[in-house]
Structure 1
Amino acid sequence: MSRIFSIIVSLLLASTITGCAWLGTEADATEDWSASELYTEASKELDSANYKRALELYEKIETRYPFGRYAMQAQLDTAYAHYKAEEPDEAIAAADRFIKLYPQNPYVDYAYYLKGIVNYNRSVGFLDRYIPTDPSQRDPGSALDSFNDFAVLVQRFPDSKYTPDARQRMVYLRSNLAKYEIHVARYYMKRGAYIAAANRASYVVEHFQRTSAVEDALELLIDAYEALGEKELASTAERVLAMNREAGRLIDDTPSPEEVGLARKLWDYLELDKN
């Protein structure tokens, strides 16, 4: 019986060792791959939406070949892969890392653009692609981050192919930020916090002059000042509103079909909203 038991134990040990060896071989399947081979395979996985596997291969490139051109490209692709995998924080961190390490790289404009896109999607939201909603009523944190990301791109890379789209998105984001302030001002009016409402409306007039929200802000100022008994201030706001209407300074900042079409073409070309 003891001999049979010994044979069974030996077989189990042999099986375990064989299994470990097999696992080791599987784990090191790419051990002898060149940077080019790793990058080619990672690109295939990325194109196939196998983002986790693609990220693993990009990491191998950076670990084994940290100073080559493939490592540099792998870092940028890592940011994009995280974005596609719906990991916005990781995507922004990877883009920031690329910007820090390669500030003079010819593709650094894309890193700034990708940061803006990540935050833009956060501000717009997935449901907006299918259900009409008012994004200006949401917390403006991500919208402001996106606006600032695009602003850096526009300022530093005015000739970048991503700049026209970034400018258009900035118009949209700026309009929403202004409308958000109007929503808050109206909330204060309903609560009887007329001073707070007036302050919010004044902020819109001062900082968002070329948006459609200015007209709403001036109307709110009139109502707030009247509620506060500030007849002179209300009259002044009325005169400013009338003058701007007569001069045609109150604009409609809704993008034209041509502008939307141009932005949409670039968006579709980059496949930034396809999963």
Structure 2
Amino acid sequence: MNHVRSVGMRKTARVALVSLVLAGAGFGVTACQSDPDIDITKLGLETDAPETLYNQGLANMKAGNLAEAGRKFDSIDRQNPFTEWGRKALVMSTFTKYRLGRNDEAVATGNRYMSQYPQSQDSAYVQYLVGLAYSKQIADVTQDQRAAVRTIDAMNKVVTNYPTSEYVEDAQAKIRFARDQLAGKEMQIGRYYLERKEYLAAIQRFRNVVEQYPNTNQVEEALARLTEAYYAMGITEEAQTAAAVLGRNYPDSQWYADSFKLLKGNGVEPRENRGSWISRAGAKLIGA
């Protein structure tokens, strides 16, 4: 009997809550009861149990209604925080936001999940989603590359903290892509300086590529540009070393052919100075 009374009290409280919300929105409770066209869910109020809302969200996802699915999951999160249903809803909310292209929101939701449930059964997946949301924001190398830096950080957490997860391989691929972007940004700036004959500034950018991003697809050109810049400054020995390291690692590269031609046309050939920073960096390259 006490159980029945408790259930009845909860229903009464829920009706009272609905009445207050509707009254604040300019609707009377009587109107809500008599007008079938009024949908209280459109007012942002969900009265179903979290399990029901979760299943409704899954059904909407299956039907392709991601926005509606996300609304269901967000309702669970708001009304049932720090519960198992709330935890599961946060996972799905992160996913739907990512799929809808709302990447900043996906990152915020995913990071909130990770702060609350860092060692849960879905933490590797959510961390991976955060990395994917960042990777979707990586811009062309002519633009700011902060998203690439954040992608690397997020995906490194997947690789380091969840090394046996199924997401590691793709996380590593996303890291490689982001590093290529960062190296590409350095090359873009370096070429800018080189064109203006600001050789020292150009060399520093190309050096960053060789030393910081040795396993990227930008290294061949970086070594060729170092050959060009050092030779233009009259530092022939470093130009020869850059060309020699390039030829040793990428003998069939067009960049090496161009560097060889530049030196040969001026009476010198590629020759590696083992004491040069270029030679030391060369030991870490893809073809070393």
Q: Normalization by structure 1: what TM-score?
A: 0.72
CA distance, structure 1, for counterparts of residue 77 and residue 55 of structure 2: 14
Cα 1:173–1:69, aligned 2, differ >3 Å: closer, same or farther? same
CA distance, structure 2, for counterparts of residue 32 and residue 120 of structure 1: 37
Corresponding position: 1:77 with 2:101: no
CA distance, structure 1, for counterparts of residue 249 and residue 167 of structure 2: 34
Asked which structure has the greater RCO (Cα within 8 Å, sep 6+), the reply is 1
167, 188, 193: which one aligns with 1:188: 193
Q: Helix, strand or coil for the counterpart of 1:123?
A: coil
1:97-176 to structure 2, matched below 5 A, reads: 97-123=112-138, 135-176=140-181
1:101-156 deviation digits (Å, cap 9, x = unpaired): 101101100111101111212226xxxxxxxxxx5454322222212211110011
Q: Which moved more, 1:184-193 or 1:147-156?
A: 184-193
Cα 1:187–1:78, aligned 2, differ >3 Å: closer, same or farther? same
CA distance, structure 1, for counterparts of residue 119 and residue 40 of structure 2: 36
**Unaligned 5+ residue runs, structure 1?**
1-15, 125-134, 253-275
Answer yes or no: is the 8 Å Cα contact 1:184–1:197 preserved in 2: yes
1:156-213 deviation digits (Å, cap 9, x = unpaired): 1110011111112222322232233222211221122211110000111111112232
Q: Which moved more, 1:89-98 or 1:18-27?
A: 18-27
**Which structure shows the higher helix fraction?**
1
C-alpha RMSD of matched pairs (Å): 2.8
Paired positions, count = 227
Answer yes or no: is the 8 Å Cα contact 1:136–1:177 preserved in 2: yes
Larger Rg: 2
Shift of residue 214, structure 1, vs aligned partner: 1.8
Cα 1:63–1:141, aligned 2, differ >3 Å: closer, same or farther? closer
Instruction: Give the match for residue 236 of structure 2.
Output: 231
CA distance, structure 2, for counterparts of residue 188 and residue 26 of structure 1: 62
Answer yes or no: is the 8 Å Cα contact 1:215–1:250 preserved in 2: no
Instruction: Give the match for residue 210 of structure 1.
Output: 215
Q: Normalization by structure 2: what TM-score?
A: 0.69
1:27-54 deviation digits (Å, cap 9, x = unpaired): 1697552221111011222333333322
Report the residue type matching 1:148 in the other structure: D
Percent identity (aligned):
29
38, 62, 66: which one aligns with 1:47: 62
CA distance, structure 2, for counterparts of residue 140 and residue 54 of structure 1: 32
